[in-house]
Amino acid sequence: LSGATAIGKGLEDARDELTSERGRDDVQKAIVLLSDGVNNRDPDPRTVAQSIKDADIRIFTVGFGEADMTLLSDLALTTGGQFFQANNGSELKAIYEAISQELQELIAQDVVVTEFIPDGLTFVGMTEGPAPQLATSQDGTELRWELGDVVTGQKILLRFDLRGDMT
């Protein structure tokens, strides 16, 4: 149908797919809805959004052009997602990147790596990774990296050079 925007039906279909036997239980579930129109077909998207929230699925909405921004904002708010408005392609790209970052699985928070360098060895410098905080004591040198949060798929490589003291 020309001019038909069935947001509720699209949300139902997405919910049904995510909760079907093909849906994975070991991942965070989300729907990303991009709309440039106004809903004009049943079912009511707000009612469907409540059932999506009950299924522990978040809706991220993106309004583009003449979209019903109030509805899109309500859908995101109901499910714990986020609402975005895009005015051009570059904004749309940035929004999808932000959503991607939001959906990455957090596997560790406030990660701190500590390496103790005993007497007789000297820290020369990093060959890969961020510089550590250095603390020296009578027992040697402590290297400390405060890495913050770590998400699935993120790689952190800490490689450094040491020099042995020839005494």
Span 38-57, pLDDT tens digits:
888 899 999 999 999 999 99
Question: Number of helices and strands (H, E) in the chain?
Answer: 4, 8
For the segment 113-149, what is each residue's pLDDT rounded down to a tens digit?
A: 999 998 888 899 999 999 999 998 777 889 999 998 8
Angle in degrees, 0-180, between the axes of helices 7-18 and 45-54, rounded to the nearest 10: 20
pLDDT digits (tens, 9 = 90+) for 66-109: 899 999 999 999 999 999 999 999 999 999 999 988 888 777 77
pLDDT of 1 reads: 47
d(CA 5, CA 19): 23
Per-residue pLDDT, 166: 65
Instruction: Give the confidence band of 150 by pLDDT, cuts at 50, 70, 90.
Output: confident
Confidence of residue 167 (pLDDT cuts 50, 70, 90): low
Which pLDDT value is given to residue 23? Answer: 81
Burial class, 72, CB count within 10 angstroms (exposed 0-12 / middle 13-18 / buried 19+): buried
CB 45 within 8 A of CB 75: yes
Determine the Cα–Cα distance for residues 160 and 132; give it in Å rounded to an integer. 10
